[in-house]
């Protein structure tokens, strides 16, 4: 384009920005009908349904910010392991690694999450405090050397991404990922989406907003692989992400300025030390308890939970919620009904809501108005599912082949390798090694998934119909490692997970499909997690879960502190300068 054209576009964008700033940059929060909240007393009991990160964060915030005694907090969890989606097993004692995902952490955007981590001493500090036993004076004077937040920041300083090879076409042709391949209309559509009001995109899909060529651009391949977007997902959520990660648009290709990873997997880096600290505080972890329903006070004037119903070891039981007690419920679940496959088996796609997280929300929404529309997020599994695989490989063969292919010195620097022309749109996430504490010697862990459900190039099946061995075979075909395939298969194990609802929060929706964290007229109930509505915040980020906990605790328990403000890259003028130059 000639220079006058560039100047004209910049002037037009500048005018739009000025008009938008004058009109008003911040969204308004929904009005809430005043009610008399339950009183917070030293005897108040907190019942938290779900031991995922939002439930753990609720307990931490209640102790540290609301001065609730740990012994008064009860976390009810259906599984026998805390952490929810931030799970991790294996990688040691010759057992294959198993996890239902991994998360990348951007400190700029994840403000609530890092605020939470700053409250938790490192495992090393906790172990030192344990040695002090019951010496209250020594414990009082103990100076914490590192928090979990300190550990993550230190790790990110020494483990920078260096993505030399991110996009791969057929026949192992490396694509220049620094060229985003966006047409001028695509660029203007991104700016238009950034500047438009959210209401404009109510119920719309991303492919209602962008032209078909946008979904064949290098930008889209990288954007969708990092965040998990599909063309049929919600344009509202796409808009929120563009605004939140606006500061990263110019470095989306290589992400050199961000570390984005935790030391080890998320479970060992975050969940384990958080659970350990909560247990030290006396928090009750009531595992193996599947909450099936709650009873509300029979009135429309308020929303007050009076009883919690759950099943333990096949026996139905109840908890009476007294005046002054509070209930925090994680609604929906991105890993509900997940099913596992192996090297020689295919994971089942469960469609019947067996695990209970969704039916609990459905029962509550049927009893009380204003609690959202859970069916919106479960009625299209074929648009919310995807499958994750974990490769555990012994010896240096696969590691050395990948390093040679990506031109990196260490596993972990690559970030993601995306096979853009693969019928599966296959991509792999290569974490820093070791990914597990005490990881087996000469063992390496690689994760991946696909975003399309076509028949593979070499394995003529959709990935969801494949065994772990077939997935590894198709991956080696895409990498061009077929000569080494027999040896790779001998030295590797693959676990898989089918997740029916993993991107359910991205499905097109209206403003009322997700309930507020604290529902209108609630006296003692708050909702947690990815299916609550936090205006302008991005779902599918661990920060969303911790922010929902923060809002819930501060609101219900009358904490006189400011909730962590949501970050938007669009509110920084320098980010606009960078974005315009990038465009």
- Model pLDDT, residue 570: 87
Among the ranges 20-29, 284-293, 447-456, which has the highest mean pLDDT value?
284-293
- Other C-beta atoms closer than 10 Å to the C-beta of 61 total 25
Element (H, E) at 416: strand 416-419
Q: Which two tokens stand for residue 270?
A: 């975050």
**CA-wise closest residue to 392 among 281, 472, 284, 290:** 472
pLDDT in tens, 410-426: 999 988 999 999 999 99
How much is the pTM? 0.93
Q: What is the pLDDT of residues 236-251, one digit of tens each?
A: 999 999 999 988 887 7
Indicate whether 266 pLDDT > 70: yes
Label the pairing between strands 326-330 and 46-49.
parallel
Q: Is the peptide bond before 434 cis (omega within 30 degrees of 0)?
A: yes
- As a whole number, mean pLDDT of residues 82-105 equals 93
Instruction: Please state, in angstroms and rounded to a whole number, the distance separating the CA atoms of residues 64 and 259.
Output: 28
Helix, coil or strand: residue 19: helix
Distances (CA, A) of 206 to 200, 236, 241, 419, 476: 12, 8, 12, 22, 32
pLDDT above 60: residue 11: no
Do the beta carbons of residue 497 and residue 338 sit within 8 Å?
Answer: yes
Contact in structure between 163 and 413 (CB atoms under 8 Å): yes
Do residues 229 and 502 lie in contact, with contact meaning Cβ atoms separated by under 8 Å?
A: no
Q: What is the full DSSP assignment across 263-282?
A: SS-HIIIIIHHHHHHHHHTT
What is the mean pLDDT of the segment spanning 435-448? Answer: 96
Residue 275 sits at the vertex; the CA angle it makes with 273 and 278, to the nearest 5 degrees, is: 110
Q: Are 37 and 556 in contact (CB under 8 A)?
A: yes
Q: How does the average pLDDT of the chain come out, rounded?
A: 91
Q: What is the mean pLDDT of residues 196-201?
A: 92
Which residues are 289's β-sheet partners? 312
For residues 306 and 293, is the Cβ–Cβ distance under 8 A?
A: no
CB 105 within 8 A of CB 262: yes
Model confidence pLDDT, tens digit, residues 462-490: 999 999 999 999 999 999 999 999 999 99
Query: Binning pLDDT at 50, 70 and 90, where does residue 581 land?
Result: confident
pLDDT tens, residue by residue, 118-171: 999 999 999 999 999 888 888 888 999 999 999 999 998 888 888 889 999 999
Distance, CA of 100 to CA of 79 (rounded, Å):
14
- At 256 the pLDDT is 66
In 3-state terms, what secondary structure has residue 174?
strand
pLDDT at 10 over 70: no
């Amino acid at each position: 384009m000639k220079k006058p054209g560039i100047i004209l576009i910049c002037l037009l964008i500048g005018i739009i920005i000025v008009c938008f700033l004058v009109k008003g940059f911040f969204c308004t929060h929904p009005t809430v009908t005043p009610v008399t909240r339950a009183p917070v007393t030293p005897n108040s009991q907190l019942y938290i349904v779900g031991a995922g990160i939002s439930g753990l964060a609720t307990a931490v915030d209640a102790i540290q910010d609301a001065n609730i005694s740990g012994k008064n907090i009860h976390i009810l969890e259906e599984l026998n392991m805390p952490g929810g989606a931030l799970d991790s097993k294996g990688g040691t004692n010759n057992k294959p690694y198993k996890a239902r995902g991994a998360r990348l952490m951007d400190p700029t955007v994840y403000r609530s999450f890092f605020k939470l981590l700053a409250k938790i001493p490192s495992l090393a500090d906790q172990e030192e405090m344990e040695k002090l036993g019951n010496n209250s004076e020594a414990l009082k004077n103990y100076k914490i050397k590192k928090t979990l937040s300190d550990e993550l920041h230190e790790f990110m300083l020494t483990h920078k991404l260096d993505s030399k090879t991110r996009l791969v076409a057929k026949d192992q042709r490396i694509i220049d990922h620094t060229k985003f391949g966006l047409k001028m209309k695509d660029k203007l559509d991104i700016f238009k989406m950034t500047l438009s009001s959210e209401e404009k995109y109510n119920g719309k899909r991303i492919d209602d907003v962008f032209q078909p060529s946008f979904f064949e651009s290098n930008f889209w391949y990288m954007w969708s692989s990092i965040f998990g977007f599909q063309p049929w997902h919600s344009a509202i959520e796409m808009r929120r992400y563009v605004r939140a990660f606006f500061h990263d648009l110019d470095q989306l290709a290589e992400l050199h300025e961000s570390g984005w990873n935790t030391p080890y997997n998320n479970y060992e880096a975050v969940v384990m030390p958080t659970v350990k600290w909560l247990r030290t505080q006396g928090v009750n972890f009531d595992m193996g308890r599947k909450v099936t329903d709650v009873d509300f006070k029979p009135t429309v004037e308020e929303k007050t939970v009076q009883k919690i119903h759950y099943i333990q070891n096949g026996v139905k039981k109840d908890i009476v919620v007294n005046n002054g007690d509070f209930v925090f419920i994680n609604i929906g679940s991105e890993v509900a009904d997940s099913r596992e496959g192996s090297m020689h088996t295919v994971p089942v796609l469960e469609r019947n809501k067996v695990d209970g997280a969704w039916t609990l929300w459905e029962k509550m929404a049927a009893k009380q108005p204003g609690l959202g529309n859970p069916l919106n997020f479960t009625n299209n599994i074929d648009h919310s599912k995807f499958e994750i695989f974990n490769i555990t490989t012994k010896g240096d063969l696969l590691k050395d082949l990948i390093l040679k292919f990506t031109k990196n010195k260490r596993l972990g620097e690559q970030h993601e390798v995306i096979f853009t022309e693969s019928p599966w749109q296959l991509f792999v996430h290569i974490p820093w090694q070791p990914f597990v504490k005490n990881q087996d010697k000469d063992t390496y862990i690689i994760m991946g998934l696909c975003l399309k459900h076509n028949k593979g190039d070499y394995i003529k099946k959709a990935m969801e119909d494949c065994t772990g061995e077939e997935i590894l075979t198709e991956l080696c075909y895409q990498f061009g490692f077929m000569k080494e395939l027999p040896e790779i298969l001998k030295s590797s194990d693959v676990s898989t997970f089918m997740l029916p609802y993993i991107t359910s929060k991205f499905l097109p929706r209206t403003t009322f499909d997700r309930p507020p964290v604290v529902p209108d007229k609630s006296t003692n109930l708050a909702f947690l997690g990815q299916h609550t509505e936090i205006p302008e915040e991005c779902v599918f980020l661990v920060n969303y879960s911790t922010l929902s906990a923060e809002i819930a605790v501060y609101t219900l328990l009358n904490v006189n502190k400011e909730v962590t403000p949501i970050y938007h890259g669009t509110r920084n003028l320098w980010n606009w300068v960078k974005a315009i130059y990038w465009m």
